[in-house]
Structure 1
Amino acid sequence: MTLGETAVVLGGSAAGLCAAGALAPYFGRVLVLERDELPADAEHRRGVPQSKHPHFLLNSGRRAIGELFPGFEDDLVAGGGLHLMPSMDAAYLDGEGWSARKRSAMTMIYGSRILIERVLRDKVRELATVTVREGVGVTGLTTRDGAVTGVELAGAEHLDADFVVDALGRGSPVGAWLVAAGWPALEAQTLDAKVTYTSRWYELPAQRPPTWWWQHLVIMPTRHKGEHPAEHEYLVNFFPIEGNRVIACMGSWGHAMPRTEDTFVESARRVRAPLFAAAMDRCTPTSEVHLTRSTGNVWRRYDRWATPPGRLAFVGDSICAFNPFYAQGISSAALSALLLREQLERAERLDTAFSRRFLAAQRKLLGVPWRLAMARDQAYACAVGTEKPAEWRRRVLAAVSDPAFSFIVGAAREDAVIDEHFAKVFNLDESLGDMLGNPGVLARLVRHGVRAALGRRRVPFGFDPTAEPPAKDYSTAAAP
């Protein structure tokens, strides 16, 4: 079923490419407009500074992309992506020490952002009706009778459009263009927890040391309230990507982060597990240090307009941008694109009623990752924005959020049912509220609390953070 002759996607990053896949079956042609010149291979480009940092592709996101582009996952692995089970392949330090290895319900594909986008571009090029125009600047929209009718480009070029998707990211000017065209002021929910993170790329040694059973190294911030170096409050990743490489990344809430190669190495040596700096010493640096501070959560509430513009949709950071620490961006964008395809399948016309239905469904979808981001970032005193809670509530969140998270992680190590639900929450397949509202899960959490209080844990934890993480597989010690 064709809903129009021409659809236009503003932006050729991951969100825009997913949107193009969603639109392709329903329009005679789909034009993707991208400001950058796109590389043929997996390379960095100016418009995606985030590509220098680790990117987790959550299971919900990789399934959504797979539905839009069949074969995506196989192509990602063929391109060098690593299909791993984090509970077996990651050394994870939380609380007082290293966690034990064991099998779990969750697997992930590890790879760089530039690999993900290269595979997506290859899949889009296979679609006969999609054309990507590069080096194109978008300067405005045209509207008539409450609907978007076209796109204005630099150089006084105009494109008529039957449908437009905004995938221009955090800095999208589309909201301002709509307000200038007569729509009401745009509400935005915001919370910036002052997250800054810094990364450097390394090549792994040709022969990994015998103690490196792990592929991924994760060091969570300390919960100790006493005196310690600021680096003990860093969230640290030694993140594996394609091509026998890793991205060493340190991030924090509210701390100044190293910007130079020397200070990066110095800070790494003060991280609370010496393995991080020792691993870096075994590797060869292949990049400079990359620092990012644009990390605030922003939800532009187009769904609150009584009469949203017709023939227009938003995907990715252009409508809802998250603190990148939580790895929700690409997956949320892919899920929005898949939702758009589902709504187009049922549509008879692309009017304001269609926009209202899509925005209502998207509000429900985005609410799941948004509430997860708020549950953590609202606990920080440095946070600012419309969603900053009252001080008493912030103190409560600060006191309970980290211990509660660690308690659930510990329960998941012991109980297969909790593990399955927690994997769904982490991957945006289930809301945290639905998990905690499940009577069966609650009963198992209570049972875990009682067993832990009596010292009857099956799976040990808290191994010495100054030592090598234990290689032993404790899978058979966990409850079925």
Structure 2
Amino acid sequence: MRLGKTAVVLGGSAAGLCSAGALAPYFDQVVVLERDELPAGAEHRRGVPQSKHPHFLLNSGRRAIGALFDGFEDDLIAAGGLHLMPSMDAAYLDGEGWSARKRSAMTMVYSSRILIERVLRDKVRELANVVIREGAAVTGLTTRDGRITGVDTDGGHFEADLVVDAMGRGSSVSAWLVAAGWPEPEVRTLDAKVTYTSRWYELPAPRPATWWWRHLVIMPTPDKGEHPAEHEYLVNFFPVEGNRVIACMGSWGLEMPRTTDAFVETARRVRTPMFAAAMDRCEPTSEVHLTRSTGNKWRRYDRLRTPPEGLVFVGDAICAFNPFYAQGISSAAGSALLLREHLDRARGLDARFSAKFLAAQRKLLAVPWSLAMARDQGYECAEGTEKPREWKRRILAAVSAPAFSLIVGAAREDDVVDEHFAKVFNLDESLGDMLRNPRVLAGLVRYRFLAALGRHRVPFDFDAQAEPPATDYSTATAR
């Protein structure tokens, strides 16, 4: 069923490409307008500075993109993406020491952002009615009688039956709408002052015999006493395609290294020597890349009394998250799939369509938003409309880390808790729904009771100064 002649997508990154796949069955032509000249291969470009840092493709995102583009995951893996089980393939330092290695319910696909977008571009270019216009800077929107009717660019004008804003955090669309007479949308914000810095490395060949792991994760210390600032870092030694890794250090409210020398020296002060030792075995292939634009920001277009007809928003253009939580691409893909579902049921692109889509999208975005708030609201350095009162912030700061450790610990030993924790992490279930599940609550209480007695099926807190243990403890959870 065709709903119009032309749909226009503003932005050619992951959110825009997913949107093009959602629109293609319902319009004669879909035009993707991208400011950059797009590379033929998996290469960095100016418009996606985040591509230089690690990106997780969560299960919800994998499924959404797979529904939009048949065979996407197979193509991503064929291009070098890695299908791994983090609990078996990642060395995870949480609490006082390394966690045990064991099988779990969660698998993930690891790759660089640039490879994800390259495979997406290939998929979009297979669609006969989609065209990508490169080097096209969008300069404004045209409107008539409460409806968006077209898009102006520095190279001309495009009439449109539907426009998708996928221009990211810096989108100018809200300002253009205000200039056209719409009220400014409410904006919810919380910036926890996250800064992170990354450097790319080539892995040694062959890999060292002790490297059973593919991914190193070092969580911030639970120690409340005196310790080096670097012990507060969240650290990743993140595998990507092409026998490469991204070494990444990030923090809430702390200064991060900007030069290669400072990066290497800082790595030696994180709370395990394994991170710096792994970097020493690898060959650096890039400079240091630092990012500060990490605040959570939700433009509440759903609360406008009369939202503009003929316009929808996908990805960071409507809701941007702290990138630490790896929710961006998966949330954008989920919104694009939701758009396709609403287009499939639509009888027209009128005010009713806009209101129904925005209401459904609000429910979709509330899940990752609540997860980001649960962590970031506890930081004293956080600023924004969602900053809680001090008494509430203190409570959140006091309980969030222990609560997370409780869930992680219970998931080690209880398959049901593990299954639901994997769903929450992958945006398939809200944290609230998980914690209202009687079986999950029983598992948490049981684990806490047995832990108080020192009775654990699966050991943990292995010496952080030593190599992470390679022993597979999967059978311990089967008893």
Task: Please give the per-residue CA displacement for 1:132-184, whole angstroms capped at 9, x wherever unaligned.
Answer: 000001000001111100001114x1111000000000000000100111111
**Using the alignment, how far apart are the partners of 1:362 and 1:21 within structure 2?**
18
4+ residue runs over 4 A deviation? none
How do residues 309-324 of structure 1 correspond to structure 2 at under 5 angstroms?
309-324=308-323
Residue number in structure 1 paired with 2:343? 344
Q: 2:184, 2:322 → 1: CA distance?
A: 24
* Counterpart position of 1:406: 405
2:95 matches 1:126: no
Tell me what 2:218 maps to: 219
Query: 5+ unaligned residues in a row in structure 1: which ranges?
Result: none
Equivalent-residue separation in structure 2 for 1:100 and 1:185 (angstroms): 50
| 1:30–1:130 CA contact under 8 A, matched in 2 | yes
Match of 1:363 in 2: 362
Aligned to 1:164: 163
Matched residues in 1 for 2:223 and 2:454: separation? 22
Q: Which residue of 1 aligns with 2:21?
A: 21
Tell me how far apart the structure 2 counterparts of residues 264 and 393 of structure 1 sit (CA, whole Å). Answer: 35
Give yes or no for the alignment of 1:70 onto 2:76: no
| Identity across matched positions, percent | 81
* Residue aligning to 2:453: 454
Q: Is the 8 A contact 1:42 1:118 kept in 2?
A: yes
Letter in 1 for 2:262: T
User: Offset of 1:207 from its aligned partner?
Assistant: 1.0
Paired with 2:157 and 2:220, the residues of 1 have a C-alpha distance of 51
Residue 46 (structure 1) shift: 0.3
Aligned to 2:46, the other structure's residue is in SS state: coil
Aligned partners of 1:146 and 1:438: how far apart in 2? 44
The answer to whether the 8 A contact 1:89-1:213 is kept is yes
Does 1:387 find its partner at 2:386?
yes
Q: What are the equivalent positions in structure 2 for 1:272-283 lying under 5 Å apart?
A: 272-283=271-282
Aligned-residue Cα RMSD (Å) equals 0.6
What does residue 468 of structure 2 align with?
469
Tell me how far apart the structure 2 counterparts of residues 358 and 180 of structure 1 sit (CA, whole Å). Answer: 24
Secondary structure of 1:8's counterpart equals strand
1:226 Cα deviation from its structure 2 partner: 1.3
> Which residue identity lines up with residue 191 of structure 1 in the other structure?
L
Question: 1:137 aligns to what?
Answer: 137
Deviates more, 1:225-234 or 1:41-50: 225-234
Aligned-residue offset at 1:229: 1.1
Name the amino acid aligned to 1:231: E
- Partner residue of 2:112? 112
The AA in structure 2 aligned to 1:44 is H
> How many angstroms does 1:479 deviate by?
4.3
Q: Whole-Å Cα distance in 2 between the matches of residues 2 and 455 of structure 1?
A: 64
In 1, the alpha carbon distance for the partners of 2:71 and 2:349 equals: 30
Letter in structure 2 aligned against 1:134: E
- Alpha-carbon distance between aligned partners in 2 of 1:328 and 1:355, rounded to the nearest angstrom: 24
The 3-state SS of whatever aligns with 1:270 is coil
2:47 match: 47
| TM-superposed deviation, 1:246 | 0.1
Task: State the alpha-carbon separation in 1 of the partners of residues 201 and 429 from structure 2.
Answer: 35
What corresponds to 1:246 in structure 2? 245
Instruction: Find the counterpart in structure 2 of residue 12 from structure 1.
Output: 12
Distance 2:438 2:274 in 1: 40
Partners of 1:176 and 1:187 lie apart in 2 by 12
Q: Deviations over 1:79-130 (max 9, x none)?
A: 0000000000000000100000000000000000000000000000000010
Q: Following TM superposition, by how much is the alpha carbon of 1:71 offset from its aligned partner in structure 2, in angstroms?
A: 0.2
Query: Taking structure 2 as the reference length, what is the TM-score of the superposition?
Result: 1.00
Amino acid at match of 1:281: D
Question: What is residue 80 of structure 1 aligned with on the other side?
Answer: 80
Measure, in 1, the Cα distance between the counterparts of 2:440 and 2:98.
25
Asked whether the equivalents of residues 220 and 236 of structure 1 are also in contact (C-alpha less than 8 Å), the reply is yes
SS of residue matched to 2:461: strand
Give 1:225 deviation, angstroms: 1.4
SS at match of 2:36: coil
Per-residue Cα deviation, 1:389-446 (whole angstroms, up to 9, x for no partner): 0000000000000010011000000000100000000000000000000111111111
Partners of 2:184 and 2:289 in 1: CA distance? 35
Question: Which SS does the other structure have where 2:21 is aligned?
Answer: helix
Instruction: Look up the equivalent residue of 2:161 and give its one-letter code.
Output: D
SS in 1 for 2:196: strand
Aligned residue in 2 for 1:60? 60
**How far, CA to CA, are the matches of 1:410 and 1:147 in structure 2?**
52
Q: How many residue pairs were aligned?
A: 479
Provide the C-alpha distance between the structure 2 equivalents of 1:84 and 1:120, rounded to a whole number of angstroms. Answer: 21
Verify the 8 A CA contact 1:195 1:254 in the aligned structure 2.
yes
Amino acid at match of 2:94: D
Contact 1:201 1:248 in 2 (8 A): yes
Report matched runs for 1:297-308 at 5 Å.
297-308=296-307
For residue 463 of structure 1, give the secondary structure of its aligned residue in structure 2.
coil
Corresponding letter in the other structure for 2:97: G
CA distance in 2 between partners of 1:158 and 1:415 (Å): 58
Opposite residue 45 of structure 2, the aligned amino acid is R
Report the Cα offset of residue 452 of structure 1.
1.0
Shift of 1:451: 1.1
TM-superposed deviation, 1:252: 0.1
- Contact 1:124/1:130 (<8 A) preserved: yes
Where does residue 34 of structure 1 map in the other structure?
A: 34
CA shift digits 1:259-306 (9 cap, x unpaired): 000000000000001000000000000000000000000000000001
1:2 aligns with 2:2: yes
CA drift at 1:448: 1.1
Aligned residue number for residue 148 of structure 1:
148
Contact 1:302–1:359 (Cα < 8 Å) also in 2: yes
Distance in 1 separating the partners of 2:248 and 2:231: 14
Q: Normalization by structure 1: what TM-score? A: 0.99
* C-alpha contact (below 8 Å) 1:415/1:479 kept by paired residues: no
Partner amino acid, structure 1, of 2:178: V
SS at match of 1:461: coil
- Inter-partner Cα distance in structure 1 for 2:438 and 2:95: 27
Matched letter for residue 378 of structure 2: A
Instruction: Name the counterpart of 1:288.
Output: 287
Gaps of 5+ in 2: none
In structure 1, distance between residues paired with 2:225 and 2:292: 27
1:32 alignment partner, SS class: strand
Give the AA of the match of 2:146: G
Secondary structure of 2:238's aligned partner: strand
1:458–1:479 contact (8 Å) kept in structure 2? no
Name 2:98's counterpart in structure 1.
98
Deviation string 1:294-352 (CA, Å, 9 cap, x unpaired) is 00000000000011000110000000000000000000000000000000000001011
